[in-house]
Amino acid sequence: MWEVSRPLPKLDASVAAFRQAGVSVTGVATSVIEYNPTFIAELRQCLLRQARATVIVTSVFAVPALAQAWTNSLSHPPILAVGDATAAKIKSLLPEAHVFTPEQHTSEGILAMHQLNEANCKDIVIIKGEGGRDTLQNTLRLQGKQVYPFCVYKRVALAQPFYTNNWQIDDVSGIIATSENMAMQLIASHSDQMMTLPWVTVSERIANTLRKRGIEKVAVCKQATDQALIAWIKDNWEY
């Protein structure tokens, strides 16, 4: 059995996807998502002022904030979504939006997209979570872009992790962690035995953080969707 970590709003859907694919998992949530209505209102005003800005959405949890801030008066600016799940959620809430995704589902992948190198790409709105990386805004500002970042949500740690079923650490064969924040919370809330298990995560940055914490068996799946992680497990782990 594998342990998959997701924020609470996404946990049940992820666990169902793994189980439907025949991969035995237990789900664990260490945090919930809390939105900031003030910043969402400020985002709406920014989108109205910068109607031609390119919009970057860095996670699926940022999408509801974009939908709240969106107005039909916008001139359908290009929206760069960090991954397929984020893009799909944008299209479901904003069918008229023009959405693009990078080949590599990371900040570095977004920076490599040709849309950011167009001559008319001067203003960029970044919709993100509190405590996220600053790589995008720092790099784009060094390139001479005008960047407007909005931290529209934050992850709030649960007093106790939430599990989808009862389990023992001896039942777990490996850990699936899709963010550095959740990985650190898992390590903090579990026994040292978790340090000896194999882990799979979704970027070299997170993998390197885990290695620095003493976890030796760390692999990387290049995408964070349930489907990509399921395919990786079937190709690389006995399930």
Kindly compute the dihedral angle of the four CA atoms of residues 56, 60, 63, 65, in this order, to the nearest 10 degrees. -100
pTM: 0.79
What is the DSSP annotation of 52-69?
A: T-EEEE-SGGGHHHHHHH
pLDDT tens, N- to C-terminus, the chain (239 residues):
899 998 888 899 999 999 999 999 999 998 899 999 999 999 999 999 988 899 999 999 999 999 999 987 666 789 999 988 899 999 999 998 999 999 888 888 999 999 998 878 999 999 999 987 788 999 999 999 999 999 999 988 888 888 898 777 778 899 999 888 888 888 887 667 788 899 999 888 899 999 999 998 999 998 888 999 999 999 998 65
Residue whose pair of structure tokens reads 């962690």 in the numeric block: 177
Q: What is the pLDDT of residue 143?
A: 93
Tokens describing residue 123: 């203003």
- Alpha helix segments (H runs only) across 36-152: 37-49, 63-69, 84-93, 107-111, 135-142
Q: What is the pLDDT of residue 73?
A: 62
CA distance 94 to 103: 22
Spatial contact of 151 and 36, defined as CB atoms under 8 Å apart: yes
Spatial contact of 50 and 148, defined as CB atoms under 8 Å apart: yes
Q: What is the pLDDT of residue 74?
A: 64
Beta-carbon contacts of 139 under 8 Å, excluding residues fewer than 6 positions away, are 111
Q: What is the pLDDT of residue 85?
A: 87
Helix, strand, coil shares, percent, the chain, to 5: 40, 25, 30
CA distance 74 to 203: 34
CA distance 127 to 28: 26
Spatial contact of 102 and 109, defined as CB atoms under 8 Å apart: yes
Spatial contact of 224 and 7, defined as CB atoms under 8 Å apart: no
